[in-house]
Chain A
Amino acid sequence: MKSSLQKFKESYFLYSFKRDKVAMASFIAILIFIALAITAPWIAPMNPYDSNNIDIMNSEIAPSWTKGGQADFPLGTDNMGRDMLSTMLYGLRTSIMIGIGAVSLQALIGIFMGLSAGYLGGKTDAILMRIADIQFSFPYLMLAILVGAIFQIVFGISRYEQLAVPLLILIIGFAEWPMYARTIRASVMREKNKEYVEAAKVIGLSKPVIMVRHVLPNSLTSLMVISTIQIANAVMSEAALSFLGLGMPVTMPSLGSLIRSGFDYIFSGSWWITVFPGILLILFVLAINLLGDWLRDVLNPKLYKD
């Protein structure tokens, strides 16, 4: 009898992972990003959320290696005098938090809808999928602008600062759940006609039990692939919203709002405020997408290579 750890060590999954340098590199990069995000409060040189640390006289200092740079601020400071490195670490933390939160919400709604639609079929399927189509035909930016604006009016700007993270999770989560619903539905429809499902019916198991215990576990591979890509998408969405000024407030910047705040100064020579968070965002999203790509190749047995 092999332990599950031993089984994992001998699996094709790990074997292919070890041989794929791109997958390994992106996995390590993602681990580093997540570690940085989690430990931000301890490793960042200053706390950018605390206004006591910020001195407006320090604003727009260039990175330390360029002319006019200071050793205290390795990547320079932004227009409000915050240390870029610290602000980016905190921003990455916010971005990842929103990304994972939104994807969890998407998965929750999407799995429920997709599983019911795919397994029950008929009218349930038609109704649920039309809801998904309607949801999909709404540009999420429009939804975000609407909800964000109403929210800011109802609760006021000060409350908005505290509630921005959950609000963004809700907006991005609701905007993209049909992606999950469709993927799950497709793979459930493939699985539900297999004989093991009929065997479960012959035993007498009820529909919800068959759905959750038999069909869902066999649809999880496609779920894993789409989850990685959706996290990247959610982080991008959040950045886009923040760039438009509908996301995280300037006092609690995410990567997107940092890029935006630097955008106004880019022509006055302070390129670093926009460029550094931009590079970080690109690297993070790229790493996730590359890993997702590899995952799709490995988990789809029809694509087995060499």
Chain B
Amino acid sequence: MSTPVLAIDNIVKHFDITGGFLDQIKFKNGKFKLEKTTVKAVNNVSLSIYKGETLSVVGESGCGKSTLARVVLGLYAPSSGQIFYDGKRIDNLSHKQMLPFRKKMQMIFQDPYASLNPRKTVQRTLEEPLRFHNPKMPSIEINNKITEVMEQVGVDPAWAKRFPHEFSGGQRQRISIARGLILDPELIVADEPVSALDVSIQAQILNLLMDTGQKRGLTYLFITHDLSVVQHISTRVAVMYLGTLCEVAESKTLFENPRHPYTRALLSAIPKVGETVAKHIKLKGEVPTPVNLPSGCVFHERCVSANKRCKAEVPKLNTLEDGTQVACHAVEEKRDIA
């Protein structure tokens, strides 16, 4: 394959949640020590996204998928690791050097009620990025562009003078998408764009995203926890658990033949039509806290086929013969997975 549009290389993001200096002092073994408490949100995640594809990142809440999206866009600086856009490293650029890449990567947010500035009309929300990135663009051209994009996302351009609170949730999400599209980006990071919407509206918005994606040749990084959405739209799927990648596979392969024990458990939770006895794989325990990660494989405490090696050694992402990448000792050793 060609060079990926976006390549994430060993990204780590830890958040420091210790307060001030005094909170860091700890008394241990007769000695005072400075200690920081960190939330290990994303640990050594590597991913590549190729042009025109839709890569979905799935996982339960708190697994670090939204953090990953924000690190990609430079909203959070990664603790370590590198991000490449079209082969150029972008995670260490200054605000000014980053600007040309900002035009190419845009984001669509989860909550359409919070993602639009309540004090700005639709017109002003949409013209802000245009004016900022093209200071010399004449007003007529800006207005034409706004009309064009509003029509594309299915919002009547005559409503441009209205404020966000005059729209419904679905309409707001359309406006939010319009803001993402107005700079003609190449990559769109969508952070759970439909999970705040009604089921009937979800389909509309997903279709809109997929149609515009096809028309404009967009590449999507799609963050979601909704597996039925994933199956519907993705080219490839990446499964995350507690800040680490478990499995990356073609969408079809993943749903037909999940490899990683966690993916299996996750997929078994999808209700099926005509199913009389639920065949859910029940995991023991709870998701551990990302403050103190388990040793070795982060999933070993809950995994049915874990052994000593899983407790001691962090599994690496291995590529199988059909292109699926799995990070699991059990799969590697061809252990019998329940």
A115, chain B: closest CB distance, angstroms: 15
Q: Are B115 and A195 in contact (CB under 8 A)?
A: yes
Interface residues of A (CB under 8 A from B): 1, 126, 194-196, 198-206, 214, 217-218
Residue in A195, A204, A206 whose CB lies within 8 Å of B133? A204
Pick the contact of A214: B106, B107, B110, B117 (CB < 8 A): B117
Do residues A195 and B110 form an inter-chain contact, with CB atoms below 8 A? yes
Q: What is the minimal beta-carbon distance from B124 to any residue of chain A, in angstroms?
A: 10
Nearest CB on A from B126, distance (A)? 11
Shortest CB–CB separation between residue B331 and chain A, in angstroms? Answer: 37
Given contact pairs A195-B109, A195-B110, A198-B109, A204 touches B102 in the complex (Cβ within 8 A): yes
B222-246 vs A, CB cutoff 8 Å, 1 = contact: the mask equals: 0000000000000000000000000
B114 touches A196 (CB 8 A): yes
Query: Which of B20, B95, B161 contacts A206 (CB under 8 A)?
Result: B95
List B residues 98-124 near A (Cβ within 8 Å): 98-99, 102-103, 105-107, 109-111, 114-119
Residues of B near any A CB (own CB < 8 A) = 20, 70, 73, 75, 95, 98-99, 102-103, 105-107, 109-111, 114-119, 128-129, 132-133, 161, 176, 179, 183
Residue among B99, B103, B179 making CB contact with A199, cutoff 8 Å: B179
B106 touching A202 by the CB < 8 A rule? yes
Find out whether the CB atom of A196 lies under 8 angstroms from the CB atom of B116: yes
Residues of B within 8 A of A199 (CB): 107, 109, 115-116, 176, 179
Beyond the given A198-B70, A205-B128, please list 13 additional residue pairs across the A-B interface where CB-CB is below 8 A: A194-B114, A196-B116, A198-B107, A199-B115, A203-B129, A203-B132, A204-B95, A204-B98, A204-B129, A204-B133, A206-B95, A214-B117, A218-B118
| Contact partners of B75 in chain A: CB under 8 A | 198, 201-202
Q: Which residue of B lies closest to A193 (CB)?
A: B114
Q: How far is the CA of A126 from the CA of B70 in the complex (A)?
A: 26
User: CA separation between A202 and B98, bound complex, in Å?
Assistant: 10
- Please measure, in the bound complex, the distance between the C-alpha atom of A218 and the C-alpha atom of B118, giving whole angstroms: 8
Q: Hey, which chain A residues are within 8 Å of B103, CB to CB?
A: 204
User: Which B residues are in CB contact (< 8 Å) with A203?
Assistant: 102, 128-129, 132-133, 183
Shortest 10 CB-CB contacts between residues of A and residues of B: A204-B102, A195-B115, A195-B109, A203-B129, A217-B119, A196-B117, A195-B114, A194-B114, A202-B107, A204-B99
A and B contact pairs by CB, cutoff 8 A, 9 listed:
A126-B20, A194-B114, A196-B116, A196-B117, A199-B109, A199-B116, A201-B75, A204-B102, A204-B132
Q: How far is the CB of A107 from chain B (nearest CB, A)?
A: 19
